[in-house]
Every structure is written in C-alpha cells, then in structure tokens.
C-alpha cells in the first residue's frame, strides 16, 4: 500500500491527497488550508483492512504488554500505540529517542487550593528534549526518514528546533533551523546546536524566515517539519492515550491545554475522538484551551465571533512557548472545543507566574507556558464550568529547565511590575522565596528556618 | 523490624549501627568514615528472612511485570527494584516523581569512530529533574519522610539541590539549601528555587557551608541529604539493574562513569556486586572512572599510591558537576575499581568538549561532566584496555539543558583557548557549527546547505 493505510485530507475543502504530493508546504493546493491524517478503513469498523482485526480490549492489553518489552518501538510511548498511527510503511523506519510514557502526577496541594480533588498534571516536559514536541517529531521525522530525505528544516527558535535537531541526528540525517536575526534566544537554541543542527540567522523577521523556507522546500529535497506538517499531530495524539490508560480507560471530565500554535488541542481532540470511535473509551473529555492575555487571538475569536474568524494579534507574553499571534492550527482547535464542549480562557502574566510557582511547590517544574493551564482552571472553577467532583488533567508542555531565567526573575522579584500583580500580591509573596543572605552562623540560619515555618 | 532488614556499616572500621543513631552527620563516631547499607539476611542466601523467598528468575520476572503496572511504586525505575532496596519499613512512605527507567541508547556513530560496535549510553539526565541525583534522592528522602522529618538540607549549588528540593516538595516537606556567597550559579539553582526550597547564601566558602550545616543537623530536626547519606547510594544502584535488564541480564564488559564526588562508581559497583552475589548475573563489568584533568584527585591517587591515600586538589574544570577536589566517596570508589578490575583516567577540557559535541551529534544531549566518559573511553581503547568486540556502557549523568551556556560557548568558539585545543583542532572544527548569518535569500541558504553537506 502506497501510504500504509492513511490518507491526508484537507481540513478546509475535504480534498484527499496521497503523501507523496505534499513534499512542499503541506497546504491544500485548492483552498490553502491544512491537512490532517485520516484512516479510511476505520469508517467501516476499526482495522477492517488488518489481518488480525484487534478489538479495543486486545489493543489495551497489547499496549500495556509492550511496556515490558526491550524492543525500541515498544519502549516508545508514541510507537507502542502504533495501531493508531498508521503512518509508516515499515516499522523499521521508526526514529525514536524513547519519548512519551510521561508521568501523570496527582497534584495534591493544588487539589486542595482549587477544590478539585481529582487533579492531575500530564507532564510532557519529561520527554527527551524537555518538551511535548518530541512526540510529534518522532512521528513526522520517521516519515521523512522513510521517504528517503537527508535534510529536514523548520523556522523556530524554541522547542521545535530542539526536537527536530535531536531526532534528525538520531536518524543520521541533517537539520536546518532558520532564525530571524537578532531574535535569538541562545538558551533555547543551545539544544538544536548541541544536536548538530545548522542554524542560520536571516536578516528578516519570522514571517520572512517562513517565506524563505517555503522556497527552499520547493527547490531542494528538504522536508518541512514546521507545525503545518500533519504527521506531527499524529504523534502528539499519544498523551491522550496515555492519560486514558493511566485512568483505566475512564477519560477525565476535563483536559486543559496551553494555547499557542494550537496543535496540542487539535491533536488531543483528534485522539479522544478516535478513541471513542474505536470503542476504547465511552465518552469525550471537555478540552479547554488557555491563552496568555497578551497572545490571545483564539480567545478573542471565540468571544467575538464564536470562532468563525481569527484575527492575528501582536503577541506579548513572557511565556515564550505560547507567544504566537497567528496560530496555524486555529480552525482545528475551534472544532475540538466545539465537539468536546470545552472553553477558551485567558490568563494574565501575574496569574501565569503564580500558577507556575504553585506547580513548582508540588515538586514539578514546568516552563511558564505550561502554567497557564492551572491559571485557567482557577477561572473555570470560579465560573462554575469545572465542578469539584470532576476529574481534571492539566497538560504541562515543557520542563522548567527550558526557561530558568523566568524562574529566577520571579523569585528575585524582577519579573512582574507592581501594576501587573494587583490582587494577587499576597499570594505571590507567599510563593516567592528569595535567596536570603547572612553570615555563616548556625544561629542565624536556624532563626531563618523558624521564620520560614510560619509561611 | 526496626530498620526493615538493613544495617548501616562503617566502611572504615566495620562498626554496625542502627539507622536512628545517624540523624546527625552520617560519619562513624569511632573512625569518622562513611557508612554503607548492608543486608545481613543476604549472607545466608538471599531473602532468607523473607516469607516468599523469591529467586533470581522470579525477581527478573517481577521487575519486568511492574513496568505494566499503574501503581506509583511500580512505575518508578528505582522502586520497582525494591527487593534490593530494603530501606523502608512501609512502602506507603515512598516519595516518587517517576524517576529511573531511563533510556539505554545505542551510540551508532560513536561506535564507528571508536571501533566499539556494542557501545551504549545510559542517560541518567532523563530523570525528572534532569540528573542522576533523582535516583538517590527518592531513596534517601523517603527514609527522611518515614522518619517523620519536616525539613531536609544540603550544601550544594547544583544538581543535588534541584533533586532534593523537588522530592521534598513532592512529600510536602521543606528543604534548605546552603550556598557560599558569590558562588551562585543561578541557572543551576533556579530549579531548587522553583521547587520551593529556602536558599540561603552564607558569607563563607563551601567548606564553611558544610560546617554550618553539620551544626544545624546536630541542633535541629533537619535531615542531612548531602552525599555522605548512605541511602542515596542505594537508590543510585538502580541504573546498574536497568542496564543488566536491558541487556537480558548479560552484564556489559565495561561501565564507564564520570568521577566527581565518586558516589556513582560506588553505587554502581555495589549494585553489580550484589547482583552477582544474588545470582542475577554471572559476572562483573569492569567499572572505570574518568575525571577532568583539572579535578583529578582520584586519578592522582591511583597513579601515585595505588589509591591508598587521596590528597585534595583545588578543582578547575568547566564541567561543573565534577568540579570537586575532595571527593567524599573516594575510598568506596577505589574499592570498586579494584574489585571489578577497572581503571581511572583523566580527560582534558578540549577532549571533554569534543566528546560532548560528538554525543550531541547522536541526538543525545548531556552536560559536559557526562562527556568525560566518551573522552575516557577513547583513551582506554588506545591503551588496549577496552577491546573492539567488548560491550561498553557510558553513564551520562545530566541533561544538556543543565548547562546551555557551555554548549553555546563551545559552538561560538568562545569555550577553549587555542593552547587547550592542541591536536584536536580539526576534529573540533568539524563538530562546531556556528550560527551562520546572511540575507533572507533562498539562494544563499541553499548554497550554505551544499557547503554543510561536505562537512
């Protein structure tokens, strides 16, 4: 079979394409919209085209069994679910770094403060390169490898370039990162460089980089791994499978995700819809998307026109991973929010910072973009949209090490302006722990310990 | 049983103590040496004191089965081996962040360049806080929790404080980090602060901090989690079990570890000795320790007096995690090198930097201290101590995100002075990839791609 049982279908006009046509920019030639992966055989009942025709119970058992295997594909938290990722012709082309299988932590302290007893964090920052991008990258890069590409490329200065460079290196392939000059976050780029990527600063802005990249993938055999690549979303489905599995195939009432480029909400929504369709689960969770106030185009679209039209904004937030004013996957995200009955909320800079500190106090470090989920949950609880007896999963997308400057700035008191703190002042003071300075005296240190106990 | 079947025995004079006596500084009151955990029942055959008396095959099966369990203790790569960590009275006191179960990567490219076909990297930087310290911290902090402490403490500015703070927060306990003033590496401390630790800068040096800490744990109910704590080594045994399990219980011929405070070599050696004693494995690997040239007290001791006496050095290396001039566990490490037939080697700053870049080009990011293992392997191969048909495992101790400044400095050409580079100049130029700058033109980028292909 040419494409291993899947098709690419335009989310705008429904045009169906075969994989090989799409080596350029992954946009529909008819309407310009994005593609998604679909599995035609599933419409006639799952795995009609398969020889073994496994049913839902058999799949659940098989996926768990693979956790005890020493095989590389089985040890991946993405590829052990490969029956729902029919995107390769041959499993030997899997390029893996042992991604996925991330922890679902119960949040005990935050459960008390929010009044949600069954509150969990699914920590995608525990992936090999420290962000959720790895689950999507193992999928899309394996496709590139199977198609015989030597080079892959993206325009990014953050988590995407790190993941792409790592998987390309793992496959023995080469990677190209285009960056707008002067906008380099060296800390975030350090990983891509460490993994051997060729990083080129262009004298232009981000959109200029995207334009140059589009020309490059048309003219040279370079495979595009920006978020328009539909195979990335197939890999990013798997956290949903892991969540359901960890909860014994009872889906949570709510899954709350950060909203930047909106690929996460799209991928998780697709996964929960497919699981229900295949009889793996009985119902859908409500999927809600939380944006930063300064980068809230979806929030505005939902509020102003019910998600019919999205107007790009100039994005400003210290949560750099969701600093996106023109999200690629917004239509997919709107569909997921509608189909699951979720909401879109926004959080202020102070709410994000406080939420990150609260998650940290659970012993769980995340980058600021991840913490919008807790900030958003608090609002949904106040608005009565999330009830105290419901089960809630927050999706954390990046590791705290991805942005240590942010953590330090918060705890030294340099992050927030007085006007940003507002009513949260007292709570923020409690979570902030400055490094205290004193003479080397046990008496003084013991006195400080006593003081800390009162906090 | 008071202490769940284990004893603490002084590694110097053999004095045996019960746990409760040791709440102060974990030094033998008779001879001042360190303690280690021993299991008296094992000397009369494993688990003589157990009801079920599992044998080696049953243990292997049980540990694999737990990989498919949803129980918190089973999902930990430390506690799923709890039959070899009899340090708690009650399993409900386990404090876990889903540590361990780290990947054993095959190093394909480096296998070719070193001529070692069966070359692996065990990546302990994939633990929850990004370093190997988590495996030891889950063990020792669980003991502190079981003993009822509210506060734990250490003197550290690096990976130890991050791990301690995370596990303390997870347990709902409080943590204290003492730091010498002016020696703060904010990047490394950011995690401890994020996890809610109280960090106090003292107007003294590191030894001064250790002295104040010793007084604090004598005077107040604060549990000491510096590396002298013998329970940390029990947790740090488990990567050895994972390595053996991944290789189907055939131990590798060589395990190569970075040498800083020397707890790693001690713990892994203990694990391999115990596994052989219990019939889980048939033989021992040679365990070799690699130090940085500028922080090489063990290397000198082995060379100058066969490891009989260690003279502290003033440590200088950019590999900060092994920048230790007076390693606490040096006697244990000497014993392990002797008993397993391994060696101690050293690596220059340029060799470390090059090795880190080579590991990065495999898609595997580590902090510089981890890369001494590859630099050391190259020397052991050249000296004929490691043969091409042998199986070699390098222990990587920290994630590349722990020290992104190092990566950037290397790839920008700012890290090494010309006199440090020496004969490695050409190799270093090949692994260094500077960020190229150019106008936003696809023609120019495509030309750069062609140039990169030739490298």
CB contact under 8 A, B97 and A364: yes
DSSP A63-88: HHHGGG--SHHHHSTTGGGGGG----
Minimal CA separation from A10 to chain B, in Å = 28
Minimal CA separation from B412 to chain A, in Å = 10
Window 309-338 of B: residues touching A by CB (8 A cutoff) are none
Q: Does B450 touch chain A (CB under 8 A)?
A: no
CB contact under 8 A, A176 and B70: no
State the pLDDT at residue B17. Answer: 83
Round to whole Å and give the CA distance between B286 and B280: 17
Is the confidence at residue B344, as pLDDT, over 70?
yes
Residues 6+ apart with CB under 8 A from A352: A292, A317, A318, A319, A368, A371, A372, A375
Window 196-235 of B: residues touching A by CB (8 A cutoff) are 196-204, 208-209, 211-212, 215-216, 219-220, 222
Q: Does B47 touch chain A (CB under 8 A)?
A: no
Average pLDDT of chain B, as a whole number: 92
Is the confidence at residue A2, as pLDDT, over 50?
no
Minimal CA separation from A100 to chain B, in Å = 12
**Structure ipTM:** 0.95
Task: Please give the residue that has the higher pLDDT: either A453 or A251.
Answer: A251
User: 3-state DSSP call for residue B188?
Assistant: helix
State the pLDDT at residue A42. Answer: 81
Round to whole Å and give the CA distance between A359 and A380: 18
The radius of gyration computed from the CA coordinates of chain A, to the nearest angstrom, equals 22
Are B130 and B163 in contact by the 8 Å Cβ rule? The answer is: no
CB contact under 8 A, B449 and A219: no
Query: What are A19's two structure tokens?
Result: 């994989």
Task: Please give the residue that has the higher pLDDT: either A392 or A208.
Answer: A392
Task: Please give the residue that has the higher pLDDT: either A203 or A4.
Answer: A203
B445: closest CA among A176, A29, A89, A14?
A176
Which residue among A101, A190, A195 places its CB closest to the CB of B404?
Answer: A190
CB contact under 8 A, B433 and A198: yes
Round to whole Å and give the CA distance between B172 and B169: 5
State the pLDDT at residue B20. Answer: 54
Residues 6+ apart with CB under 8 A from B355: B347, B371, B372, B373, B374, B375, B378
A37: closest CA among A67, A4, A61?
A4
CB contact under 8 A, A363 and B65: no
Is the confidence at residue B275, as pLDDT, over 90?
yes
Q: Provide the CA B305 distance to its chain's centre, in angstroms.
A: 26
Look up residue B251 and give its DSSP letter: P
Burial of B15 by CB count in 10 Å (0-12 exposed, 13-18 middle, 19+ buried)? middle
Within 13 A of A241's CA, how many CA atoms are on the CB side? 31
Assign A1 a pLDDT band (cuts: 50, 70, 90): very low
Minimal CA separation from B23 to chain A, in Å = 17
Window 160-179 of A: residues touching B by CB (8 A cutoff) are 165-172, 174, 176, 178-179
Which residue among A176, A184, A363 places its CB closest to the CB of B169?
Answer: A363
Assign A52 a pLDDT band (cuts: 50, 70, 90): very low
Query: What are B80's two structure tokens?
Result: 């799923």
CB contact under 8 A, B195 and A170: no
Average pLDDT over residues A96-116: 97
Residue range B219-255, pLDDT digits in tens: 999 999 998 899 999 999 999 999 999 999 999 999 9
Q: Does A443 touch chain B (CB under 8 A)?
A: no
Is beta strand B391-396 parallel, antiparallel or unpaired with respect to B118-123?
parallel
Which range (A266-270, A430-434, B327-331) has the least confidence?
A430-434
Round to whole Å and give the CA distance between B216 and A76: 45
Q: Provide the CA A362 distance to its chain's centre, in angstroms.
A: 21
Is the confidence at residue B436, as pLDDT, over 90?
no
Minimal CA separation from B263 to chain A, in Å = 24
Chain B residues lying within 8 Å of A209, measured CB to CB: 440
Q: Does B91 touch chain A (CB under 8 A)?
A: no
User: 3-state DSSP call for residue B21?
Assistant: helix
Q: What pTM was estimated for this model as a whole?
A: 0.95
């Amino acid at each position: 079979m040419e494409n291993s049982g899947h098709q690419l279908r335009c989310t705008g006009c429904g045009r169906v394409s075969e994989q090989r046509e799409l080596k350029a920019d992954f946009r529909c030639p008819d309407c310009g919209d994005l593609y998604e992966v679909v599995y035609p055989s599933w419409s006639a009942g799952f795995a009609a085209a398969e020889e073994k025709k496994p049913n839902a119970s058999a799949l659940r058992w098989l996926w768990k069994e693979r956790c005890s295997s020493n095989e590389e594909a089985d040890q991946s938290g993405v590829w052990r679910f490969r029956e729902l990722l029919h995107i390769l012709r041959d499993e030997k082309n899997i390029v893996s770094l042992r991604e996925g299988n991330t922890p679902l932590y119960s949040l005990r302290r935050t459960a008390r403060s929010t009044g949600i007893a069954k509150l969990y964090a699914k920590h995608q920052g525990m992936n090999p390169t420290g962000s959720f991008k790895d689950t999507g990258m193992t999928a899309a890069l394996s496709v590139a490898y199977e198609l015989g590409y030597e080079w892959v490329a993206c325009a990014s200065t953050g988590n995407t370039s790190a993941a792409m460079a790592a998987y390309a290196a793992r496959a023995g392939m080469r990677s190209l990162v285009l960056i707008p000059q002067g906008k380099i976050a060296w800390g975030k780029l350090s990983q891509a460089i460490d993994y051997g990527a060729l990083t080129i600063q262009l004298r232009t802005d981000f959109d200029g980089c995207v334009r140059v990249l589009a020309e490059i993938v048309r003219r040279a055999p370079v495979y595009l791994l920006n978020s328009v690549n539909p195979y990335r979303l197939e890999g990013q489905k798997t956290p949903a499978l892991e969540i359901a599995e960890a909860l014994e195939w009872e889906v949570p009432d709510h899954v709350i995700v950060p909203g930047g480029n909106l690929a996460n909400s799209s991928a998780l929504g697709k996964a929960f819809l497919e699981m229900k369709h295949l009889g793996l689960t009985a119902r859908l969770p409500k999927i809600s998307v939380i944006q930063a106030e300064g980068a809230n185009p979806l929030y505005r679209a939902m509020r102003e026109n019910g998600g019919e039209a999205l107007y790009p904004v100039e994005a400003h937030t210290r949560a750099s991973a969701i600093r996106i004013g023109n999200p690629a996957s917004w239509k997919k995200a709107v569909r997921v929010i509608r189909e699951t009955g979720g909401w879109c909320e926004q959080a202020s800079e102070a709410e994000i910072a406080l939420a990150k500190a609260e998650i940290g106090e659970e012993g769980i470090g995340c980058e600021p973009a991840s913490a919008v989920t807790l900030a958003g949950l608090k609002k949904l609880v106040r608005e009565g949209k999330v009830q105290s007896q419901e089960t809630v999963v927050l999706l954390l997308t990046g590791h705290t090490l991805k942005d240590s400057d942010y953590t330090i700035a918060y705890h030294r008191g340099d992050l927030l302006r007085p006007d940003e703190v507002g009513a949260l002042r007292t709570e923020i003071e409690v979570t902030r722990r400055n490094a205290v300075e004193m003479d080397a005296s046990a008496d003084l240190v013991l006195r400080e310990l006593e003081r800390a106990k009162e906090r």
